Structure 1
Amino acid sequence: MHVPRRFFTKLFILWLFLLTAAAQVSRAEDGYEMWLRYQPVADDRLRKTYQQQFTQILAEGDSPSLSVATLELQRGLSGLLDKPIAIAHKKLSKQALVLGTPANSPLIASLQLDDRLAVLGDEGYLIERTHINKRAVTIIAANSDVGVLYGSFHLLRLLQTQQSVEKVSIVSAPKLQHRVVNHWDNVNRLVERGYAGLSLWDWGTLPDYKSQRYVDYARINASLGINGTVINNVNADPRLLSDQFLQKIAALADVFRPYGIKVYLSINYNSPRAFGDLDLADPLDPRVQNWWKERTKKVYQYIPDFGGYLVKANSEGQPGPQDYGRNHADGANMLAAALKPYGGVVFWRAFVYSPDIGDRFRGSYDEFKPLDGKFADNVILQVKNGPIDFQPREPYSSLFSAMEKTNMMMEFQVTQEYFGFATHLAYQGPLFEESLRTETFAKGEGSTIGNILEGKIFNSKRTGMAAVINPGTDRNWTGHPFVQSSWYAFGRMAWDHTISAESAAEEWLRMTFSNDKRFIEPIKNMMMISREAGVNYRSPLGLTHLYSQGDHYGPAPWTANLERPDWTAIYYHRAAKDGIGFDRTKTGSNAIAQYPAPLAKLYGDVNAVPEDLLLWFHHVSWDHKMQSGRSLWDELVHKYYEGVEQVRSMQSDWDQQEQFVDAERFAQVKALLQVQERDAVIWRDSCLLYFQTFSGKPIPAGYEKPKHDLDYYQFLARTRYVPEPWHPASSSRVLK
């Protein structure tokens, strides 16, 4: 029987189609879309209600931001409603979605919203059901097209989380001005503390090729209201200021601009020397001042809406103004003067600690407090949430309640440098909330960190919040799927610091996985305990910095005899026969004196200080009686074992969710939770066996005994494989 060749051709095409379709299905739930999946609303009744309410999108006006808002709404509504949604530009139909500003939309202007919009600033928005020309419509109105974009993402979030919008009336504006993500990406595309592949920025193909991934990165951030990105490592390579790189960065800025995202650069303070133009970088030298003015002018020629500079200076070997006998204000103000004509700002990091200081806890306060009121008005001091370095739990940095005349912004960490990299599940929302809601009593009750950042306590002119995110080339952006949730929580809390970690977690789960309550409740609870589990099996009761130096992954509480004492573990825990903990009271380093009087009194009282901060402030006897009635040693044992059991509970919770999660992400999280349990046991046993050499006390009956002795775990620490991509900043060689 003769079979025509065209039959085989058609068969091949069909096979290729099916193969391609299968590949698309396999990629459809790989995490790439993050919380912007726009899958059809599962509730049939609700989906039909949405379909009736949104028949078309009408966008008057013409701008890049309005265009991307319109396309995002079309993409989102078409997916969620499971039907094509048309875009109109003039003719208004009943049940349309109308978006615009009074300036570019006659329909929006006809509603006379000026007074209501006036209080929302340039980025706020209004979403409301109303009538235009006797037609029932939903509007998204703002003072700017970027505000319309933010409102568009908010409306889509309501639909994604299956909220009723039949009588919607929402007014929203950001509480903080600068909502910024920080990348620690190096020019060679290696990412310091990245854990999710190479850098997103492919310098070899920029500026000619602008990857779709750059657009999706901008969409992800804009969906949260993030309006700035610092694209390179704070351990900065001077070459980023050269013409060849500015051309490439300008191409990224072109992609980000319609999404309301400004580009910032981390700069190397020695750039005038690295370029070979000067033999010094003294901020008070007129030649240095002029160099930065001219270089900054060039930056703005490439990027007219450039945001400004982020600076790590005189910290961990980085150059800075102190190299010339100057102070941080001298250095920051010199850069601020160069940026001011263009509206740019300086984010000056407060992460500094002198190698000869007696207590690293005191470092930032002791250096910056004397400079309060001496910084230019376009300088913002970027302060980490705690006084040490993104530890699983820290007391708040005392700078927040001390710098009354200085602009300040928070610096959080989403990338899990101290929380198991991309192998552990540790939702950071509870950490952010704990920090933002901390009562400082700086000006009496209500002086929370969040209110200080907002400018409500010290009347700051500039406000902000930053987070180190470091997504990479991994298909799902973050390595561990649940690291996405911390990025999401940061963005939501940067917009409104009063949003709870729990509500952010539920939104993220609904948008990223499923709206089914049988899934949401147990997994939300799992997320909410995950950070505390990480604290418990690593560093409970105020212990800190017990990591192996360099990689920051596994336990090494025995670390000693390094180049600097404050890089060792023994510097922080001070375990001895008589007890454990760092005395920061009046009998010790007196770091408590940096806090307002009510907190200094609380932290200084060993019987009143919150027990999760106990060993931050006190050196305590192993027999000290805890609130539970246990001795300190027994409580320490209890916490370490509780952390392991919490991870096992997380495993159990996840194992029951297979019906609600796609196979690829379910299997990945399941496997990573197994890795996390293994690591948690190693952390628990390593730390307890080591501290036992000082306490001389047994692990109480009823707990599973360590499978190995201390020598085994110390050997393991020296030989284990660590999935650590840390690399120093790339060469400082400059090509003009």
Structure 2
Amino acid sequence: MKKTLLLLMLLHCIHNLQAEDGYELWLRYKPVENKALLTAYRQAITAVQVSGNSATTVVIKKELALGLNALLQTTIPFVSTPTGNTLIAERGLSENLKDLGTEGFIIRSKTINGKKCTIITANTDIGVLYGVFHFLRLLQTRQSVQSLDIVSTPQTKLRLLNHWDNLNRYVERGYAGISIWNWHTLPDYIDTRYIDYARYNASVGINGTVLNNVNANAEILTPVYLQKVAALATIFRPYGIKVYLSARFSAPMEIGHLKTADPLNDTVQQWWHAKAKEIYALIPDFGGFLVKANSEGQPGPQTYNRNHADGANMMADALAPYGGIVIWRAFVYDAKASDRFKQAYDEFTPLDGKFKTNVLVQVKNGPIDFQPREPFSPLLEAMPHTPLMLEFQLTQEYLGQGTHLVYEAPLFKEILEADNGMVENVVKGIAAVANTGNERNWTAHPFGQANWYALGRLEWDHSLSSSQIADEWIRQTFSNEPKVVNSIKEIMLSSREAIVNYMTPLGLHHIMGNGHHYGPAPWGYNTGRADWNPVYYHKADTAGIGFDRTGLLQYKPSVQQSYAGNEQYLLWFHHVSWLHKMHSGRNLWEELCYKYYAGVDTVKAMQQKWNQLEGSVDEERFRQVKMLLAIQVKEAIWWRNACLLYFQTFSRQPLPANYEQPDHTLEYYKQLNFPYAPGN
């Protein structure tokens, strides 16, 4: 295994000011303002030595030049160095490398020939790149670099983004513009945005990207599109990022002109083997296939009376000779099921241990569909003999879409810490539906960037707290000024609970508008499928509200007990009387009112905190967030009023007199219509 070393000693520089439009995300590299700290950094870093000449080493040198020049406002001399292996042996670091794997790194302060320096080393160039980004993060967040002794390895092997991008550039459930992939001009035109996309992902440790929608188009597997995919793979490779493709199960019929896609058919198997050979000839490090099968109308093995393992294993056999994997999504549900909550569990647990070793089953964080709060999916602890991928969503389909400020790290942490040992023992990868688009700032809402950042940081290290990640992101994205950091952190850390309260408090779920999922519609009942209707999930009547799942035995007893006593999930698991006494002393109706109003109040407080930052945050992004928070307050009130007025028709109790009364009737809210809501 090649051992690579980066030796920092350091420099002199020029800073190029750029507009604060959000394009640079968390890699802004703004000059160090504090003169004492700037002096300390300059004394600690006086030259740079980088060993090796790979494509990744070139990237390392460019990133160091960009980051250090800007941060320290001086020019960096790059000086020659002995080979990495020689330096590693001389400095006694060889033994430390054995446990780093291919991605971990060491950052250590040493004294060499009487001079203090910082060594960044790893077993591979990619490991060094991760170490470089970590070191630059220390400078961006104004941490001391005098006495460093950092050893870091990723806790999750596969750290992916899933793009729900179509070949026509429309993004399903996308709220930040059209796709960043311009398939029409690829492979010949390489947008610099692709390179920056790779930089931003590598800086937080993301090592894979699924380029196209899980509702896949078979055309992505045709030669003309594979050439385009290969161009992106070439760009991403020096950053340690592999490309994956969502594969349509019926592709052998649609582009291969076969009469069947039966996974046990010899001709179908041969077609997939030939397709894998074709792909790997173009992309030797191709990651593999993501497959959505027999879900929401997508084709799959059940069409031929086969099971999920039959389908996944057939494709896995085709990829196995090249080291590729199949990621098979467990998001399945049937209109005939008595409870959508149960179906993935019922379909997949009998198959535990029957998947090939290069198959991972990808499980959404909750058993329904990326709700503001869900219990963790019971599949995450019910398949001990099957490697799993944990799937989150960054794009906020059910979290206010592109207009609401919702920091998702607390949601991620809630799942990662839900059952002790679950993630470490079973989950081998984490993926999230990407929230990027061609908007200049990538995510439309500036705070959507924080969720992308938080995903990468938690994929690498589950132990990081939501507060620590927020602190890092704010310092790199906005300012290191304590007033700014503390105020924005308060906004971020209160935002997730706020949206739960003004949308789906106490375990309510799936009560949004049909189709576009924008706005409240708890009265929805006419989609033609029971499990697409909000009334299916809350089951409100004059006796009470909530879905009775008291007989649900899919969780182990300790987890059942934990959820049974947690009022955050009360209406998820129980149909409860409107007069039920809550821990607060209020009855259920009063508690529901309290939560909805508290959610709105929190968003108003977030708005006030942000407005107080005028002059402390750049004008362009200040105005943008100010306008979006005004929309969020308006829409939080809409959610509160519409839901409470509707549920009041069943509770038959008044809204507490001390609360602001709705300014519209229930009929007004019911008649609102949004035929062109984005992302549908």
| Same-fold call, TM cutoff 0.5 | yes
Give, in whole Å, the separation in 2 of the partners of 1:464 and 1:701: 50
Look up the SS of the partner of 2:591 in the other structure.
helix
> What SS does the aligned partner of 1:138 have?
strand
Alignment of 1:721-736 (within 5 A): 723-726=677-680
Q: Aligned residue for 1:174? A: 154
Per the TM alignment, residue 602 of structure 1 is displaced from its structure 2 partner at its CA by: 4.1
Name which of 136, 158, 166 aligns with 2:138.
158
Identity of aligned residues (%): 56
Whole-angstrom CA distance in 2 between matches of 1:710 and 1:289: 56
**Superposed CA offset, 1:665-708 (max 9, x none):** 00000000000001001100000000000010000110000001
So what's the TM-score if we normalise by structure 1? Answer: 0.89
Pairs within 5 Å for 1:31-430: 31-90=22-81, 104-430=84-410
Distance in 1 between residues matched to 2:363 and 2:411, nearest whole Å = 15
Take 1:723 and 1:288, find their aligned partners in 2: how far apart are those partners?
40
> What are the Cα deviations for residues 331-389 of structure 1, in whole angstroms up to 9, with x where unaligned?
11111111110001111111001221000000110000100000111111110000000
1:475 maps to which residue?
Answer: 440
Shift of 1:721: 6.9
Instruction: Say which is worse superposed, 184-193 or 272-281, in terms of deviation.
Output: 272-281
Per the alignment, residue 559 of structure 1 pairs with 524
2:281 and 2:35 map into 1 onto residues whose CA distance is: 53
Say whether residues 1:598 and 2:558 are aligned partners: yes
Backbone CA RMSD of aligned residues:
1.3
Tell me the CA shift for residue 612 of structure 1: 0.6
Residue 436 of structure 1: aligned partner: 416
1:722 offset after TM fit, Å? Answer: 5.6
Residues 572-619 of structure 1: per-residue CA shift (max 9 Å, x gap): 000000000000012xxxx2x00001222444x4xxx21010000000
CA distance in 2 between counterparts of 1:62 and 1:105 reads 14
Once the two structures are TM-superposed, the CA of residue 136 in structure 1 deviates from its matched residue by 2.0
Distance 2:580 2:184 in 1: 60
1:89 and 1:200 mapped to 2: Cα distance? 39
Q: Equivalents in 1 of 2:426, 2:630: separation in Å?
A: 39
Aligned partner of 1:729 in structure 2 is none
Q: C-alpha offsets along residues 460-514 of structure 1, whole Å, 9 cap, x if unaligned?
A: xxx1100111311100000000000000000000001111111101100000000
**Structure 1 match to 2:454:** 489
**What is the identity, as a one-letter code, of the residue corresponding to 1:708?**
H
Identify which of 668, 673, 680 aligns with 2:624. 668
Q: How far off is 1:28 after superposition?
A: 1.6
Q: Residues 602, 429 of structure 1: CA spacing in aligned structure 2 closer, same or farther, 3 A cutoff?
A: closer
1:649-670 deviation line (CA, Å, top 9, x unaligned): 0000000111221000000000
Letter of the 1:219 partner, please give it.
R
1:164-205 CA-to-partner distances (Å, cap 9, x unmatched) read 010011000001100011100000001011111111111111
Structure 2 counterpart of 1:598, one-letter code: S
1:249 offset after TM fit, Å? 0.6
Conserved? CA contact 2:107–2:131, under 8 Å: yes
| Residue equivalent to 1:635 | 591
Alignment match of 2:467 (pick from 502, 506, 512): 502
Aligned: 1:612 with 2:571: no
SS of aligned partner of 2:399? coil
- The TM-score, its normalising length taken from structure 2, stands at 0.96
Amino acid at match of 1:451: E
Distance (whole Å) between structure 1 residues aligned to residue 182 and residue 676 of structure 2: 26
Q: 1:322 aligns to what SS in structure 2?
A: helix
* Kept after mapping to 2: 8 A contact 1:347/1:380: yes
Does the aligned pair in 2 maintain the 1:387–1:398 contact within 8 Å? Answer: yes
2:423 equivalent among 416, 426, 450 = 450
Q: How many angstroms apart in 1 are the aligned matches of 2:284 and 2:524? A: 49
Please list the CA deviations of residues 394-444 of structure 1 after superposition, one character each: whole Å capped at 9, or x if unmatched: 0000011110100011100111101111111001011001110112xxxxx
C-alpha separation between the residues in 2 aligned to 1:90 and 1:636?
66
> Secondary structure, in 3 states, of the residue corresponding to 2:389?
strand
Report the Cα distance in structure 1 between the residues aligned to 2:253 and 2:281, rounded to whole angstroms.
22
Shift of 1:450: 3.0
The one-letter amino acid paired with 2:649 is T
User: What is the match of residue 645 of structure 1?
Assistant: 601
The equivalent residue for 2:484 is 519
CA drift at 1:723: 4.1
Deviation (angstroms), 1:104: 3.9
How big is the shift at 1:635? 0.2
Contact 1:57–1:74 (Cα < 8 Å) also in 2: no
Q: Is the 8 A contact 1:107 1:132 kept in 2?
A: no
Q: Which whole-Å CA distance do the structure 2 matches of 1:290 and 1:722 have between them?
A: 44
CA shift for structure 1 position 55:
1.4
* Equivalent pair of 1:182/1:470 in contact (CA under 8 Å): no
Structure 2 counterpart SS, 1:203: coil
Contact in 1 for aligned 2:435/2:448 (Cα 8 Å) = no
Question: Is 2:580 aligned against 1:624?
Answer: yes
- Tell me how far 1:648 sits from its aligned partner: 0.1
1:659 alignment partner, SS class: coil
Deviation of 1:313 after TM superposition, in Å, equals 0.4
**What secondary structure does 1:208 align onto?**
coil
1:74 Cα deviation after fit: 1.3
Q: SS of the residue aligned with 2:627?
A: helix
Alpha-carbon distance in structure 2 between the residues aligned to 1:252 and 1:359: 42
Measured in 1, the distance between the counterparts of 2:219 and 2:80 equals: 45
Contact 1:386 1:394 in 2 (8 A): yes
The separation in 2 between residues aligned to 1:452 and 1:503, in whole angstroms, is 25
Q: Deviations over 1:73-130 (max 9, x none)?
A: 1110111101111222338xxxxxxxxxxx7453233223222110010000000111
Q: Alpha carbons of 1:618 and 1:223: their partners in 2 closer, same or farther (altered >3 Å)? A: same
SS of the aligned residue for 1:107 comes to helix
Distance in 2 of aligned mates of 1:599 and 1:51? 53
Matches of 2:346 and 2:630, distance apart in 1: 44
- The yes-or-no answer on 1:698 pairing with 2:654 is yes
Q: Distance in 2 between matches of 1:89 and 1:192?
A: 49
CA contact (8 A) 1:427 1:531 kept: yes
Contact 1:624 1:632 in 2 (8 A): yes
**Which range is displaced more, 275-284 or 316-325?**
275-284
The reply to whether residue 713 of structure 1 matches residue 673 of structure 2 is no
Amino acid at match of 2:444: G
Kindly indicate whether the alpha-carbon contact (under 8 Å) linking 1:513 and 1:660 is maintained by their aligned counterparts in 2: no
**Counterparts of 2:668 and 2:413 in 1: how far apart (Å)?**
38
For structure 1, list consecutive stretches of 5 or more residues without a partner in the other structure.
Answer: 1-23, 92-102, 440-445, 455-462, 727-736
Q: 2:4 corresponds to which residue?
A: none
Q: Deviations over 1:263-286 (max 9, x none)?
A: 000010000000143110011111
Contact 2:256–2:271 (Cα < 8 Å) also in 1:
no
**Residue 10 of structure 1 corresponds to which residue in structure 2?**
none
